[in-house]
Amino acid sequence: MMFNTIEEALQEIRAGRMVIVVDDEDRENEGDLTMAAERVTPEAINFMTKEGRGLICIPLTGERLDQLRLPLMVQENTAPYETAFCVSVDAKHGTTTGISVPDRAQTIRALVDPAARPEDFTSPGHVFPLRAREGGVLTRAGQTEAAVDLARLAGLVPGGVICEILNPDGTMARVPELQTFAQAQGVKLITIKDLIEYRIRREKLVKRVAQTWLPTRWGRFRASLYASEVDRKHHLALVMGEPSPGEPVLVRVHSECLTGDVFGSRRCDCRTKLDLSLDLIAKEGKGVFLYLRSGEKDTTLVSKIRAYELQDEGLEDVETHERWGSKEDLREYGIGAQILVDLGLSQIRLMNNPRKIVGLDAFGLHVVEWVPLREGPAT
């Protein structure tokens, strides 16, 4: 069974039906039954309880949780993936003990009711709100954010209902079991990865905020600063010459590497690639060097130094990369592609390994040539 499209999933969400959302294989690799909170019914909660078997939670935006004055369950979150549980609640009105299926459905509907106020809930209760990060799956690739994104994209109140799917023996269901479950129950199956790709191809993620001339040892560049609408990080585009629309242009998309770019670390070739690409642009007198800021806070630097530490202990590079995650970030390249489009590019001569930058055609960018920076594969 193949995964369904995001468009198919949105039709289901809009109609008040559930879908299964599959986590990334590098995270929990779980599948959650997911639906829009404003469409919840007692029958849906009963199905999640009997067939899903996991904990039922209610992902909501931070704005909504602040309106209801529902704080985080703990101030110091030590969970592996920092799932942001808030204090549990019951609705004051229309419920009895709070634990019955109709009571929980009533509480969930109240949580997304614009007329509901903080005084309409009691705590602790039997319903568990989760605080989604601003920016959704483009900020955190989690089930919490996926549920809120799906409801919003379906044109509904941005709040969801999720429940992990367990096997009958109580173990976590993985993709093969989830596919069987989806076929047996007639439920659509999607991935968070596809949801991320759907959003970056349809939403404007960057905004040009400043521009100036920058003299360098390679020559004079027009420096354009872009702000990400997702996480407020800033990215820098250095443009030499005046690329014309439709003209093939030299392009290097370079991810930030503090140890290599600044200190010339011999453990990577980042500084070498930076120098070689700017040398080529200077030689031709025209081209774009796009410098993407990487990582959330200082996690990229932490991962890099820890990877070096593992190498010191004898781990091979491949093992180190698998453990600390050196995969190219789809969101990063989506932002990069949108910057290149904003600069007016359409035909590019790419100074990156094209296997690592895929899907550019969806943005109207066409790689007409791969320009290696040295013998062997470029990175």
Locate all alpha helices (DSSP H) within 20-159, ordered by sequence: 42-47, 62-67, 101-111, 143-153
Q: For residues 242 and 245, what is the distance between their CA atoms, to the nearest angstrom?
A: 10
DSSP-assigned states of every residue in 321-352: HHHHT-PPPHHHHHHHHHHHHHTT--EEEE-S
Query: What are 291's strand-pairing partners?
Result: 236, 254
Q: For residues 71 and 62, what is the distance between their CA atoms, to the nearest angstrom?
A: 10
Instruction: Give residues with Cβ within 8 angstroms of 123, minimum separation 6.
Output: 70, 87, 88, 89, 90
Query: What are 235's strand-pairing partners?
Result: 226
List C-alpha distances in Å: 271 to 54, 180, 278, 375: 48, 48, 11, 16
Q: For residues 191 and 364, what is the distance between their CA atoms, to the nearest angstrom?
A: 24
Q: For residues 60 and 130, what is the distance between their CA atoms, to the nearest angstrom?
A: 6
β-pair type (121-132, 53-61): parallel
Q: Which of 331, 355, 361, 374 is catalytic?
A: 331
Block residue for tokens 């001339």: 213
Q: Give the DSSP H or E segment for 91.
A: strand 89-91
Q: Which of 329, 355, 361, 374 is catalytic?
A: 329
In the sheet that holds 206-216, the strands lie side by side as: 206-216, 219-228, 234-240, 287-292, 249-255, 347-350, 366-370
**Inter-residue contact 109 to 121 (CB < 8 Å):** no
CB atoms within 10 A of CB 186: 7
Asked about 24 being catalytic, the answer comes back as no
β-pair type (347-350, 249-255): parallel
Asked about 103 being catalytic, the answer comes back as no
List C-alpha distances in Å: 176 to 29, 69, 233, 236, 349: 11, 40, 37, 42, 40
Positions marked active-site = 329, 331
